[in-house]
Amino acid sequence: MPTIVIAHRVEAPARKVWDLMMGSIKTGKYEHGGLFEGLVKKGSIKGKGEGAIITSLMEQDGVIAKIVERIDKFDDNDMFMSHRIIDCGPLPVTDFTVDIRITANGPDACSYKFEMKYTPLAGPDEEVRQMVVGGVQLLHANLEKMFSPAKKHRN
């Protein structure tokens, strides 16, 4: 079972990043505040917290896929979430799970870690690996835009 682990630092408070990433799961209302711009075209959520079901119409590199995920673990205090894709749509995988953890790096920065495990269907794993890494890179670029410090103007 291949595993992909990606971690990044963000110059923003951990709680603020967590709340942005997990807002829909906490409230039961699908909103992403621009975080998944360029990746998720449309989404919906049923329920909140553990057991919530998220349906996303995703687009990446011209490929559109309907993906359905179930939140298996959700710990708002520890800033940890685990979910499983229960309908992989056209993706060439099965048993795809994702763990997300956010850790504070002082009061004004944090790191987040995505750990993804899956079983590729027949054929090489590289297509899935590129898709997963590309999606997390896009999410990180969106986070960077959202939390980048304002440029100072000189007089």
- 154 part of a folded domain: no
Percent of the chain clearing pLDDT 90 (strictly above): 49
Positive/negative CA dihedral, 126, 131, 135, 137: positive
Which of 143, 122, 130, 153 lies closest to 37, judged by CA? 143
Question: What pLDDT was estimated at residue 40?
Answer: 83
- What is the mean pLDDT of the segment spanning 25-49? 85
Question: What pLDDT was estimated at residue 154?
Answer: 33
Count of helices and strands (H, E) across the chain: 2, 7
What is the tally of structural domains in the chain? 1
- 129 part of a folded domain: yes
- The CATH number of the domain where 142 resides is what? 3.30.530.20
pLDDT tens sequence across 43-54: 899 999 999 999
- 152 part of a folded domain: no
Domain that holds residue 58: 3-146
- 151 part of a folded domain: no
pLDDT tens sequence across 106-144: 999 999 999 999 988 876 778 788 888 888 888 888 888
Q: What's the whole-model pTM score?
A: 0.85
